[in-house]
Amino acid sequence: MHKMKKAVALMLVFMLAVGLVACGKKADEKKPESSATAEKTEEKANDKEAEPAKPAEDVDSEDGEIIEITPSTDEADESGLLRIGVAKSSEYYYDEETYETLAYAKYSNVSLLAGSDTYAELAASLDEFSTDSKVRTLDEFETLKSSVKSDIEAGDEPFMNYFIEESSNIVRADDKALSIVDFVSSYTGGAHENLGIFTYNYDTKSGKLLKLTDVIKDVDAFTELISEKASKYADDVISDPAEYIKKGINEEGYCLSWALSYTGVDVYFAPYEIASYAAGVITASVTFKENPEIFNDLYTEVPASYEVAFSGAGQVLADTNGDGLPENVSVWKTPGDDAEDLFNLSVYIGEDLVVSDDEFFNFDYNCIMLHKADGNYILVDGQSYNDCHTTRVYDIASKKMTDELLGTGLVRYGTYDDYPFCYEVAGNPDKKELFTRLDALGTYDTFRTYSLEGGKLIPEKEYYYYDDGAVTLRNAVGLTVDVCDENGNVTGETDVKPGEYFTYLYTDDATFMMCSLSDGTIVKLDMDISEYPQKVEGEDVMDVFPDVLFAG
């Protein structure tokens, strides 16, 4: 029964292990999830007498600060960086009597979260990538289930769970290229698991896969450089690196796993490609810094700030100290002693332990390297029981935690009904969007945009924002409330009759909630949430909004 409870928790509470679908829609359909409000919004949509709320629009003004009601999801970031989301989906095969896990499959869904109008072809290519990944993984899962059934019927006890797990790591995401390093690990019996490494390099504007010759002007020089570096770790009994690389570049039926990163072109060799399994993943790089003459100049232009996202499988190359050269970054999860479904996170750069989250155990983690002029950092988003999140920032140079935001995690896109969640994992470190669950007139998710300054996540605004239309509640009493302009300045009062809908816009989580009425009028609700029952306009919030939901 414990296994069944664990499965329920993983599938219903822990959003990185649910059956995630439809995450590859247009970016304007992927807005921050508000986990307790889908039913209320649907109620409004089905009420023929109620007019849908009209979101307030931002307007230019010379007086005061413009309040951004909702983030733009259809325009590309002016920095040139892409906002990329990765959703992780899982399928489990259980013993029907004991509920023991016998096999599982995990795969990623990668999508463009902003700029789908600007880069429509890229968005479509990522949809295709994610669909193909899902189909391949689930096809293999069916094979795994058949193998498990055969083993059981033959009386063989599996050494460990059969599994296939695909992890997508984003190593570059800007207006020049989007590059994904995909690790596919599987166990189908035997002494150890198998590992395959696949890379996908897209031209951002055309959405088409790049060829190595699109990036490299002198392929012969590139081949010689990569061969020389890879040979240091290769095993001649397995393969001659130079011949393997030449076949991967030139011959049909062979594939060289290369990725266009922020430092150059990195090549990943899976076990048994040029060395034994014990040698692990072997990497070799040709960098912009050391060999600029062999590259197409278009791709050597690197943003001053950027992010590299790790899915937690294998190792990924990234410049972790600002010298223009890549280092091996490995992210490992190890199970805790007391709870088998909670994990400790460790991040290594080479053999150097940089992050050891030994005080914190979570179901899973998102892990991002943030490169900035003032330093390089690791951002960790951990998710634990009851969907609790904690965001932590670590300075790579000092190996110390520089910031911790309890109850805050990477923003989630999708709708609550069918769990199509997509976590933003690669974007702009100067505009990092995080969500927080607030108990302001109800328990709902809100979001804020932060910039990373000196290892600290600094909010751009003093307010928390709600997704447009995500929290809409019907008023049960007559109220007289303040009317505000787009800047939040009070311009007058209005009487609101019972039955009117209030759509949450933003709050300071202490004294007020800004809302829009069904005709688009922006109003301000005074509130006191210092103790229960909370007060709104001096009245018990449950009397004003009987359907308000608080987490129990």
* Predicted confidence (pLDDT) per residue in 495-532, tens digit: 999 999 999 999 999 999 999 999 999 999 999 999 88
As a whole number of angstroms, the distance between CA 14 and CA 343 comes to 13
Q: Which residues sit opposite 91 in a β-bridge?
A: 105
Q: What is the mean pLDDT of residues 266-275?
A: 85
Segment 23-37 mean pLDDT? 29
CA distance 5 to 100: 11
Name the residue with higher pLDDT: 38 or 227.
227
Return all residues near 62 (Cβ < 8 A) that are at least 6 apart. Answer: none
pLDDT at 24 exceeding the cut of 60 = no
Residue 322 pLDDT level (bands cut at 50, 70, 90): very high
In whole angstroms, what is the distance from residue 170 CA to residue 137 CA?
19
The predicted pLDDT at position 11 comes to 27
pLDDT tier for residue 268 given thresholds of 50, 70 and 90:
very high
CA–CA distance, 314 with 318 (Å, rounded to integer): 13
- Structural contact between residues 238 and 216, judged by C-beta atoms closer than 8 angstroms: no
CATH of domain 2-31+70-430: 3.30.565.40
Task: Quote the mean pLDDT of the chain.
Answer: 80
Asked whether the predicted pLDDT for residue 437 surpasses 50, the reply is yes
User: Is residue 315 predicted with pLDDT exceeding 70?
Assistant: yes
The mean pLDDT value for 253-264 works out to: 90
What the block records as the tokens of 217 is 């002007």
CA gap 531, 543 in Å, rounded:
16
- Provide the CA 83 distance to its chain's centre, in angstroms: 9
pLDDT in tens, 342-382: 788 889 999 999 988 666 777 778 899 999 999 999 999 88
Residue 72 CA to residue 95 CA, distance in Å, equals 46
Domain ranges of the chain: 2-31+70-430, 33-66+471-552
Distances (CA, A) of 122 to 174, 179, 461, 464, 541: 12, 12, 31, 31, 46
Task: Provide the pLDDT for residue 75.
Answer: 64
pLDDT at 42: 31
Residue 135: left if φ>0, alpha if ψ -120 to 50, beta else—which one?
Answer: alpha
Tens-digit pLDDT profile for residues 379-428: 998 887 777 888 999 999 999 999 999 989 998 876 444 445 678 889 99
Residue 17: pLDDT above 50? no
Measure the CA–CA gap between 546 and 540, rounded to whole angstroms: 10
pLDDT in tens, 79-107: 899 999 998 888 899 888 888 888 999 99
